Amino acid sequence: MAKGDPGVTSRGRRAAPRSKRAAVAGEPELVQLLTPEGERIESALGPDGTEYRVDFTDEEYRGLYRDLVLVRKLDAEATALQRQGELGLWASLLGQEAAQVGSGRALRAQDMAFPTYREHGVLYCRGIDPIMPLGLFRGVDQGGWDPNEFKFNMYTIVIGAQTLHATGYAMGVAMDGKTGSDDGEAVIAYFGDGATSQGDVNEAFVWASVFNTPLVFFCQNNQYAISEPLERQTRVPLYQRAGGFGFPGVRVDGNDVLASYAVTRHALDNARHGQGPSLIEAYTYRMGAHTTSDDPTRYRIASEVEAWQAKDPIARMKAFLTRQQLADESFFAEVDEQARAESVHLRERVLAMPNPEPVTMFDHVYPNGSPELDEQRAQFTKYLESFEGSAH
Amino acid sequence: MSRIKEFNLPDLGEGLTEGEILAWLVKVGDVIELNQPIVEVETAKAAVEIPAKWAGQVQAIFHPEGATVEVGTPIIAIDTDPGAGPIEESTTGAPAAGLPTPSAASLAAVEIAPEEGMVEPGLIGGVAPGGRTAVLVGYGPRNAPAKRRPRKGAIPAQAGPAPAASAPAPVAQTPAPVAPAPAAPAAPAVNGTGRSGGPVLAKPPVRKLAKDLGIDLTALTGSGPLGSITREDVQRAASAPAAAEPLAAAAPAAASFGADREQRIPVKGVRKLTAENMSRSAFTAPHVTEFLTVDVTRAMKALDRLRERREWREVRISPLLLVAKAVLLAVKRHPMVNSTWAGDEIVVKDYVNLGIAAATERGLIVPNVKDAGRLSLRELADALTELVQTAKAGRTSPADMSGGTLTITNVGVFGVDTGTPILPPGESAILAFGAVRELPWVHKGKVKPRLVTTLGLSFDHRIIDGELGSKFLRDIGDFLADPEAALLAWT
């Protein structure tokens, strides 16, 4: 899906009052282009005076809505499959669709993304078959997509580790001379609020900064590191940490797909032009459990969840489309039907996933194999064959 | 392919072995959609709703609310094609096999495993559609429904295999109370079965050994983790081949059979711990209980004066605080009460980890304030407040609950006068603090309304004689009757 350019400028304070008004009372100002009520804000200023705006076609607005709904529905299906014993585990993205779709759609084809284990929405935007992560969580493969083909790294379970991988990758991009033009490459690293307390992430900040890497740190602050609330994670708004490392930080309404897109696109373009890293804090909320093994009712109260429900990313987009008469009931019904059909299809394919043969564990150790490994494989194959005819 | 599908309780959270049915959201006969929430299950990690795996009509519900179910056990049967008319008897294979009338619950099992001990590789019970290889994540092999045998003649069939078309088989959702199952604790913790539809669990060297010895792994019952077959299992089978067969045939079937058909709520969690502690204590430590009724009017007034002080304004002050202080001071005067009977010796402790029995949603727990004797009154008040709030929030850690040396149970909050508390294991005294009531009381020669409470002290008579116990209780009472004077006299 091609998106219009955000038309970012770095001047003018005209939009500031509107943006301020939209900011949540008592919370640091965040960049917002679509209010929870679905009211469109023309432009918003970041903390450094950058003016953010988007200029989408009607079709593109509808496309974003479709992405959000599909991503949520597929995620819900995966959660159901786990509850039915078909997946070992699932980390739901419920509530974080806008941050993921907005940033995911802001990526250009040449940009590389490093996800955590929750970026199913970004994965979808990268054009990867949504079945892929389900194989991982079903335990029948390692994820299955080619990170180079889709420019989307494998899911990383270790908290924050991927920020270092991304930093190294981005240093490589810079060393290859692939930055400095409109066609330059940029890298984006996803992580959560809990990861900001990890040494890895802080090291990545240091290296990305001093080597001026083309890297965007995209932190989805969903307010909880499993059960640990944000106030146990930081005393300052997370985006302000960037200042201490020497690069800009901005907080965006992570439930606003338009603002998430605009802010990410701007940061990526800065990176690809050789202007160094930046940190985006997408302020959002994990509406579901940390993973299917978690019970959020044990550490957070219902009223908090309700308050965030009112800021739902899909509801506001729907309200906007309706208000602007960009879509009607038949469109929404069609999107719902598509989501339903795709989730049923996803379910069927998950249930049909074959269990891997034991010998396949040798397949991807080295790209071209090795004599020693080949020998091990042969031995193992022979060993397995010795059971032919007996029960397993 | 079976039209009736049984849904096994999956491992809902990375390595869990069981779950408790909290609430059924559907009932037998309900027509349900795919992914419609059907049941709420609580595991050690979370309470979750399980969505229906198939659309159809609920055929049977195998476990009542409150039951604890092992992962891999069928919990519900769904007729995936209720419009197709009654279930044909001939398809069950039951009469042909000469088995007793099966319940609907076992229909699928009979279809899949018509022959005892027969293995059908690639299928796990009746749940997997098509011929695909389907092992449920984590626990597939061990609890596949194929191991479930049709019920033996002990129970009359509650529903025939061929229900009328108008009411497609609303069968046996209430498990009948039948003869006791094999004693649960005595049975192997995880009862593996070699005759499930899934693969047999065994390490490669064990498989090799079995192959070399000519032992059929599928005929064995594993004693290893997750029901896996160990080297010893194989060797045992090799040395007593005749005995192994019937043993393997009877044990798992009977065990799972009982679990499915009896309304038995396993004792576990807090309840289990409480029961074990209470029985152990009640039947090992000879208790006696003494009572003392005290006029605590002065003490209550002292508390009021304390509340008025500026530095105490933010502090939560309850009568329990004074009782705790009284106990701690009395322990200093009678250290023997703060001790443990250790068989051939008595361990007297210089520190008091003061336990407070707390009723929580999850049952009785007794967290304790560590080294409470060293705390100032203010610190004690804070510690008690935190302890109670933590307990109420359900966040009490095991460390908070272990190492108690002496306990107070505040039964007064439930509006009763006193009780004869049972000692927490390892402790020698426990004080019951009853409700504080305004009662007619002789005060300075006249009957006056006074605030009165009753204390009940249970103690371990092996350590504490009547004299010591009485003095200890008397001191607590003296402090509560006149805290100021007691403080002046004792400290």
Asked if the Cβ–Cβ distance from B48 to A292 is below 8 Å, we say: yes
Task: Tell whether A355 is within 8 A of chain B (Cβ).
Answer: yes
CA-to-CA dists, residue A257 to A45, A55, A67, A103, A108, angstroms: 16, 13, 10, 8, 17
Q: Which residue of B has its CA nearest to A352?
A: B132
Query: Does residue B198 or residue B77 have the better pLDDT?
Result: B77
Domain locations in chain B as residue ranges = 4-261, 270-490
Name the one residue in this structure whose structure tokens are 């500026």: B310
Interface test with B, best of A82, A83, A90, A361 (most B CBs within 10 A): A83
Instruction: Identify whether residues A329 and A367 lie together within a single domain.
Output: no
Instruction: Identify whether residues A93 and A222 lie together within a single domain.
Output: yes
Instruction: Identify whether residues A190 and A221 lie together within a single domain.
Output: yes
Instruction: Identify whether residues A107 and A252 lie together within a single domain.
Output: yes
Whether A340 is catalytic is no
As to burial, measured by CB atoms within 10 angstroms (0-12 exposed, 13-18 middle, 19+ buried), residue B40 is middle
| Ramachandran sector of residue B164 (left: φ over 0; alpha: ψ -120 to 50; beta: rest) | beta
- What is the CATH classification number for the domain harbouring A22? 3.40.50.970
Please provide the CATH number assigned to the domain covering B270-490.
Answer: 3.30.559.10
Task: Tell whether A235 is within 8 A of chain B (Cβ).
Answer: no
User: Model-level pTM greater than 0.90?
Assistant: no
Task: Tell whether B218 is within 8 A of chain A (Cβ).
Answer: yes
> Which has the closest alpha carbon to B149: B110, B93, B188?
B110
Domain count, chain A: 2
pLDDT for B178 beyond 70: no
Does residue A287 lie within any of the structural domains? yes
Identify the domain containing residue A346 by its residue range: 16-351
Instruction: Identify whether residues A71 and A194 lie together within a single domain.
Output: yes
Q: How far apart are CA B366 and CA B390, in angstroms?
A: 12
Q: How far apart are CA B491 and CA B479, in angstroms?
A: 12
Q: How far apart are CA A166 and CA B161, in angstroms?
A: 61
Query: Does residue B352 or residue B127 have the better pLDDT?
Result: B352
Instruction: Identify whether residues A282 and A377 lie together within a single domain.
Output: no
Asked if the Cβ–Cβ distance from B211 to A293 is below 8 Å, we say: no
With a CB cutoff of 8 Å and minimum separation 6, the contacts of B54 are: B5, B7, B34, B78, B80
Instruction: Identify whether residues A90 and A226 lie together within a single domain.
Output: yes
Rounded average pLDDT over B405-413: 90
Name the one residue in this structure whose structure tokens are 């078309």: B165
Asked if the Cβ–Cβ distance from B207 to A293 is below 8 Å, we say: no
Highest mean pLDDT among A15-19, B158-162, B321-325: B321-325
Instruction: Identify whether residues A320 and A346 lie together within a single domain.
Output: yes
Instruction: Identify whether residues A239 and A383 lie together within a single domain.
Output: no
Asked if the Cβ–Cβ distance from B136 to A85 is below 8 Å, we say: yes
Instruction: Identify whether residues A207 and A263 lie together within a single domain.
Output: yes
Kindly report the length of chain A: 392
Which helix (H) or strand (E) is B190 found in, with range? none
Q: What is this model's ipTM? A: 0.75
> Which of 10-39 (B) contact A at CB < 8 A?
10-14, 34-35
Does residue A228 lie within any of the structural domains? yes
Name the one residue in this structure whose structure tokens are 């060297």: B205
Alpha-carbon gap: A308 to the closest alpha carbon of chain B (Å): 21
Q: Which residue of A has its CA nearest to B43?
A: A293
Task: Determine how many CB atoms are found less than 10 A away from the CB of residue B61.
Answer: 25
- Per-residue pLDDT of B87-105, as tens digits, reads 654 444 333 333 333 344 4
Asked if the Cβ–Cβ distance from A87 to B136 is below 8 Å, we say: no
pLDDT for B123 beyond 90: no
Does residue A1 lie within any of the structural domains? no
As to burial, measured by CB atoms within 10 angstroms (0-12 exposed, 13-18 middle, 19+ buried), residue B369 is buried
Task: Determine how many CB atoms are found less than 10 A away from the CB of residue B155.
Answer: 17
Whether A299 is catalytic is yes
Task: Tell whether B219 is within 8 A of chain A (Cβ).
Answer: no
Choose among B35, B210, B211: nearest Cβ to A80.
B35
Does residue A357 lie within any of the structural domains? no
Per-10-residue mean pLDDT for chain A, 392 residues long? Answer: 45 40 53 95 92 95 97 97 94 97 98 97 96 94 90 96 98 96 96 97 98 98 95 93 97 97 98 97 96 89 90 97 95 97 96 91 86 93 84 57
Instruction: Identify whether residues A339 and A379 lie together within a single domain.
Output: no
Instruction: Identify whether residues A227 and A299 lie together within a single domain.
Output: yes
Alpha-carbon gap: A348 to the closest alpha carbon of chain B (Å): 11
Does residue A167 lie within any of the structural domains? yes
